[in-house]
Amino acid sequence: MSRVLLGGGVRRRVFRLLLVSLPLPVFPVMARGALAWAALLLGCLATSPAVADLRILHLDVGMGDATLVLDTGSGQSLLIDAGNRGDGRRVVAPALSALGIERLDYFLASHYDADHIGGFDELIEAGVTVETVLERPGIKPEVLSPTGRDTQYGEYLAAARAVGARLVELIPDCRPDHPQLRLGADTRIQVAAAGGRHLAGDIGFCEVGEQSLHPRRENARSVALIIEHGRFRYFTGGDLTGGGARSVPMEAFVAAQVGNVDVLKLNHHGSDTSTSDTFVQTLRPEVAVLSVGDGGVNLRYRLPRQAPLDRLAKLSPAPLLFQTRQGEGGSYLGAYVENRHIVVHTDGESYTINGLICVVDERTQASEGGHCR
């Protein structure tokens, strides 16, 4: 795989030229911070290939997750997670508005922790409508707390019902010719894991397995997706666990069926629980994306941890790492700490990530060629 690198100064000059040349949409009411995010977002989107049929936007929500998948050919969209409380109003809704998106075809909560669903009701309050809410199978959190108040999941579910969204469960399925989701004709989405069920088996043989999980194993129940557009392949798995810190090794169960990917979104914000050796050695990404925050609650968690970053760096060649923020933990040699959204564009043959241009990888797990250079 080859890469054309733009030097930092060149990248900044190109970005500024693109930014000042783009007309900003007019928003009825928007804070100065939200306008800044819209400008940054539009600047990122302008650095696409000549044809950019799929966009994956990793929104900078700090210590949380929100990822928009948009097929520009069909106009269909999938939002995975909505960040924490406040993120829906401050970050996610302005980003959707900057793209002219008032209706989401699909919303998926990778799992039901507050830093993934806390901003969902704020999107609805901001006027965003959702056609279909995708749910995992099996155990769900309680809707009411012991005091009778709505839990975070209860608020999320109430918002989904208030907007009239259909609720549809996602279940892993081995049949590659029957993807669970399509965003238009060219973007296929396969469920690798959901609610403890998962794809399993070696290369060339697939079956669906299921783990018996304790009700509190919320991260292990994360929904994991393989997203394909042409020859481009991408994996995202919420807070899917990999066996570290006595967690369930869900990553190892799905690794062989996921196979080589071009871009890997690191699970669980770079926590010790995830990014296992088996997982990264099997997926062998050329680029990794890390959603992480500075300060706040991360002063307690200290993410990303050094061990998962070291496991990633052991790959040969080592992937490029893009981070939304520096975080409060370990470091990765040559990481791109963007302090903004991280945007992937692909036409199925090439892709860009915040200004770096790559060609879709064709290498197998055993080969060493094809990395972005």
Give the C-alpha separation, 38 to 95, whole Å. 6
- pLDDT over 50 at 5, yes or no: no
Residue 370 in tokens:
């094809």
Q: Which residues of 87-119 are buried (b: 16+ CB within 10 A; e: fewer)?
A: bbbbbbbbbbbbbebeebbbbbbbbbbbbbbbb
- pLDDT over 50 at 71, yes or no: yes
Tell me the pLDDT tens digit for each residue of 97-133. Answer: 999 999 999 999 999 999 999 999 999 999 999 999 9
If we measure between CA atoms, which residue out of 149, 162, 171 comes closest to residue 120? 162
Work out the mean pLDDT of the chain and round it to a whole number.
86
Reported as a pLDDT band with limits 50, 70 and 90, residue 51 is very low
Kindly state the average pLDDT of the residues 59-67: 98
Residue 263: φ, ψ to 5°: -130, 130
* Residue 272 falls in which region: left (phi positive, over 0), alpha (psi -120 to 50) or beta: alpha
The answer to whether residues 133 and 160 touch, using CB atoms and an 8 Å cutoff, is yes
Handedness of CA 198, 202, 203, 205 (dihedral sign): negative
Q: How far apart are the first and last CA of the chain?
A: 7
Q: What angle do CA 354, 355, 357 make, to 5 degrees?
A: 115
pLDDT score at 373: 54
Tell me the pLDDT tens digit for each residue of 150-209. Answer: 999 999 999 999 999 999 999 999 987 777 899 989 999 999 999 999 999 988 899 999
Residue 367 in tokens:
């080969």
Compute CA distances 267 → 4, 8, 187, 276, whole Å. Answer: 27, 28, 22, 10
- pLDDT over 70 at 237, yes or no: yes
Residue 343: φ, ψ to 5°: -115, 125
Most confident region among 175-189, 246-260, 355-369 by mean pLDDT = 246-260
Q: How many helices (H) and strands (E) does the chain have?
A: 11, 20
Kindly state the average pLDDT of the residues 207-213: 96
- pLDDT over 50 at 243, yes or no: yes
- CA 181 to chain centroid, in Å, comes to 16
pLDDT score at 48: 45
Kindly state the average pLDDT of the residues 210-229: 96
Residue 247 in tokens:
């967690």
Domains of the chain in sequence order: 3-23+32-359 (3.60.15.10)
pTM of the complete model: 0.86
- Lowest-confidence range among 51-60, 120-129, 237-246, 302-311? 51-60
